[in-house]
Amino acid sequence: MQHYLFVLIFVLLGGGQLVSANGRLEYVRHNSGNYEAKLYLNLSETVVNWEARFTFEFDIDGFTIHNPGSQIREQSGNVVVIGNAAQDQHGPGEWSIDFYVRYLAAMPQLEFAVYNGEDLNTDFIAPPPPTVRPTRPPLPDGDYHYEEVLGLSLEFYEAQRSGRLPESNRIMYRGDSFLDDKDGDIDLVGGYFDAGDHVKFGFPFAYFTTVLNWGIVDYKQGYESAGELQNALDAVKWSLDYFIKAHPTDFEFYGQTGDGNQDHGYWGRPEDWTLGARPSFKITQQQPGSELAGEASASFASGYLVFKDVDPTYAATLLNHATTLYDFANQFRGTYTDAIPAGSFYNSWSGYGDELGWAAAWLYRATNVTRYLDDVATHWQEFNLGARPMEFSWDDKKAGLQVLLARITNNQIYKDAAEAFCDYVINDVRRTPKGLVWLSEWGSLRHSSNVAYICLQAADAGIKPDAYRAFAKQQINYALGDGGRSFVVGFGVNPPKSPHHRSSSCPNRPSPCDYNNGMNNPGPNYQTLWGALVGGPGPNDDYVDDRGDYIKNEVATDYNAAFQGALAALQVLKDEGNLP
C-alpha cells in the first residue's frame, strides 16, 4: 500500500466554521485498467453532511464509491461528485473516502479534489504500475490465512453478478448486464452467472445459495473474524432477492434464464451481449420440478436463518417463499428437466427425493415445526435417504441432509449415516499421490472441498472430531498450496492465471473481446478473477493452467460454496486454538 501525505482544509456544512485536517491518499491496489484508493481525512470536528468533487487528469471509464450511505451525485468525463445519500455523521478523528477508478488506456491521475467547498492540497502521486495484489505468506506452522481466502472467495461471487450492479461493486471490469431479462411482465434481472458462461441455471444456483447460507449460520464467527460478514450477507441476499422475483406465484418458479447452447457459443463480456433477448424457463403445476422447487425452498429456509436477527421482515418473506415452494415440490412431483432444458448441463441423476428431505430438514431447523421433521422421516424411508452417497454436490444432497439432521436432532440414526459417509471418503476413496481425495475428474477440488465441509459439520456433531477436522484441513490446504501450487486465482504460490471464464479473459475496453483475443489469447486472463477455485488436478496431481481445459480450469459458483464454508469453519477453529 502506497502512502502520500498532504494537508487539507474544508468547510463544515451547517456550522459555517473552518475545520482543518491532515490527510493522506493510499493506493490499495492497482490492476490493469483499474485501481483502488482511500482518501483519509483526520477530522478535528464532526461533519454532518459532505460532498467531494474529484477531477482526474482525463476521462475515466467508471467510478465506484464503497462508503456505506454514500452516493455518486454526478459523473461526467473526468469529474465525479460524491456525497452522503442521507444525513451522515463522521469525525472527529480519522475517516476515509474509499473509491475505485476504472480506465481505458493510461492511468488517470487525480489532479484536483474539493471537499465541502474547499480545495484540497492535491499533490497526489500516481499509484505504482499494475501488480498482482500481494497475499500474506503462509503461517510459520504451515497453515494458511483462511480469512484472506474467504474474502477473496466473496469477490469471486461479486464477479459473477448479473443485472444492475450496486454502487459498492468492487469488480471494476464488470458493469451492468442483461437488464432486459424477463418473461412478459416478470422481471428476471439480477442473480448470478453459473460458471465461465452467462446462463442463470437455477438448480445449482439455489444449491450454492443454500450452502453459503449454511456456512454463514453455523460459522458466523469465522466470517466476523475475517471482517467479511457484511460481504457474505450481501452475497446471499443477491441470490435471494432474485429468487423472490423468480417465484411470482405459489406454483411457479423460474429455473433458468439463457439458452445454454447459444450462450456457450458466445465468448465475450456479458455487458456486450449481442445475441438478443434471452429465453426464460419455469416449472408449474402442469410441468413440475421437485428438485428445483425443493432446493429453492432450502435456500429460502436457510436464508431465513441468516437474516432473522438482521432483518426480521425480510426473513419472514423468505420463510413464506420457503414453505410454499416446499409444498409445491412435495404435492406436484416431477423431474425439473422435463420442464426446463437443463438436462445437458445439470441433469438430476439422484432424483428429487433428496431435495424433498433437504428442504423439509431446513424448514424444521427454521421453524421447529414437527410436521417437517415427520416429513423428513417419510422421505427418508420412501427415497432411501439413509444410504451412503458417493458425494455431496448440487445434484446429490443426501450427505448434507444426513449431517444436518445429525446436528439439529442428535438422532443416532442420522449420526451413523453421516459417520458412514465420512469414513468412506477418508478410508476408501482414491487419493492422488499428494493426498487429494479424488472423487471425480470434473471439478476434483470442488468435490474434495464439499466432503471436507461435510466432515467439518460431522465433527461439530461430535462425530470423530479430531480425525474429521484433520482430514478437512488437509483437503483445503491442498487447494491453497500443499498440493505444490495454489488453485485459487489471485492467492498464494503460482495461482491459476488463465481460468476458463469469459469476462475476466477480456481486455480492457475499448478493445473488443471474442474467441480470438479472449478465449484464444495465449497469455493470462487480462483481469484477475480473485478468489475463484478452479476445477483442479487429475488423479496424479496433473494440472496445466489452460483456459481451454473446462474440466480442470473452469470455475463455477457451486465450486466455491462449500469451499468457502470450510474456510469459515477452519477460521473458527484457528480462532479458538483448536485447528489440527
Cα–Cα distance for residue pair 464/222, rounded to 1 Å: 22
Give the DSSP letter string of 12-39.
-TTT--EEEEEEEEEEEEEETTEEEEEE
The position carrying cell 470423530 is 464
**What does the CA dihedral 75, 78, 79, 80 come to, rounded to 10 degrees?**
50
Active-site entry in 554, 558, 575, 576 = 554
Q: Grid coordinates representing 384?
A: 432411501
Burial class (CB in 10 A: 0-12, 13-18, 19+), 502: buried
Q: Is 143 labeled as catalytic in the residue annotation?
A: no
Residues in the chain: 580
Cα–Cα distance for residue pair 207/298, rounded to 1 Å: 8
Q: Provide the 8-state DSSP code for 570.
A: H
Question: Peptide bond preceding 270: is omega within 30 degrees of 0, i.e. cis?
Answer: no
Active-site entry in 545, 546, 549, 575 = 545
The position carrying cell 466432503 is 451
Whether the CB-CB separation of 474 and 483 falls below 8 Å is answered with no
Q: Which of 509, 490, 481, 511 is nearest to 555 (CA)?
A: 490
Whether the CB-CB separation of 32 and 526 falls below 8 Å is answered with yes
Cα-based distances in Å from 352 to 145, 189, 279 = 38, 28, 25
Whether the CB-CB separation of 525 and 553 falls below 8 Å is answered with no
Cα–Cα distance for residue pair 326/335, rounded to 1 Å: 15
Whether the CB-CB separation of 132 and 70 falls below 8 Å is answered with no
Whether the CB-CB separation of 464 and 458 falls below 8 Å is answered with yes
List the 2-11 sheet strands across, edge first: 2-11, 18-31, 34-43, 93-102, 62-65
Q: Grid coordinates representing 425?
A: 471418503
Cα–Cα distance for residue pair 81/417, rounded to 1 Å: 59
Q: Grid coordinates representing 143?
A: 497453515
Cα–Cα distance for residue pair 148/225, rounded to 1 Å: 10
Q: Which of 490, 560, 579, 482 is nearest to 170 (CA)?
A: 490
Instruction: State how far Cα 353 lies from the chain centre.
Output: 27
Q: Which of 22, 2, 28 is nearest to 10 (CA)?
A: 22
Whether the CB-CB separation of 161 and 176 falls below 8 Å is answered with no
Whether the CB-CB separation of 151 and 209 falls below 8 Å is answered with no
Q: Is 545 labeled as catalytic in the residue annotation?
A: yes
Whether the CB-CB separation of 112 and 55 falls below 8 Å is answered with yes
The catalytic site residues sit at 545, 554
